[in-house]
């Protein structure tokens, strides 16, 4: 059974006035919420921006955006954060 951070979660979002659903692992939903807050956007607003720039699947575009966002932060000396919970099987 996947741990909660890796389990897919589906949410409804509105893009250009149309409802659609987006499936992402829990860790990506958490990251989207965090990044949207840092950018002073709603999660839906951030997803709309990602949607306008994408060329393929929306779920993949969100994952790539988040990877690039955090990679850029790390390159600029951003604070490294440890996961809130250790991976399954890891010793405390």
> What is the CATH classification number for the domain harbouring 26?
1.10.3990.20
pLDDT > 90 fraction of the chain, expressed in percent and rounded: 65
- Does a structural domain hold residue 21? yes
Residue 60: domain span? 8-75
- Does a structural domain hold residue 81? no
- Does a structural domain hold residue 61? yes
Q: What is the token pair recorded at 12?
A: 């409804």
Q: How confident is the model at residue 90 (pLDDT cuts 50, 70, 90)?
A: very low
- Does a structural domain hold residue 3? no
What is the per-residue pLDDT across 24-42, written as a single tens digit (0 to 9) for each? 999 999 999 999 999 999 9
State how far the alpha carbon of 79 is from the alpha carbons of 4, 73, 76, in Å: 24, 8, 9
- Does a structural domain hold residue 82? no
Structure pTM?
0.78
- Does a structural domain hold residue 70? yes
Residue 89 φ/ψ, nearest 5 degrees: 85, -5
In this prediction, residues 52-63 reach a mean pLDDT of 93
- Does a structural domain hold residue 91? no
- Does a structural domain hold residue 50? yes
Q: Give the number of domains in the chain.
A: 1
């Amino acid at each position: 059974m996947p741990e909660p951070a890796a389990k897919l979660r589906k949410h409804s979002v509105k893009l250009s006035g149309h409802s659609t659903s987006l499936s992402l692992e829990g860790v990506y939903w958490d990251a989207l919420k965090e990044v949207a807050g840092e950018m002073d956007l709603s999660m839906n607003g951030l997803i709309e921006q990602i949607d306008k720039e994408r060329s393929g699947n929306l779920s993949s575009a969100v994952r790539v955006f988040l990877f690039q966002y955090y990679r850029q932060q790390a390159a600029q000396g951003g604070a490294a954060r440890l996961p809130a919970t250790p991976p399954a099987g890891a010793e405390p």
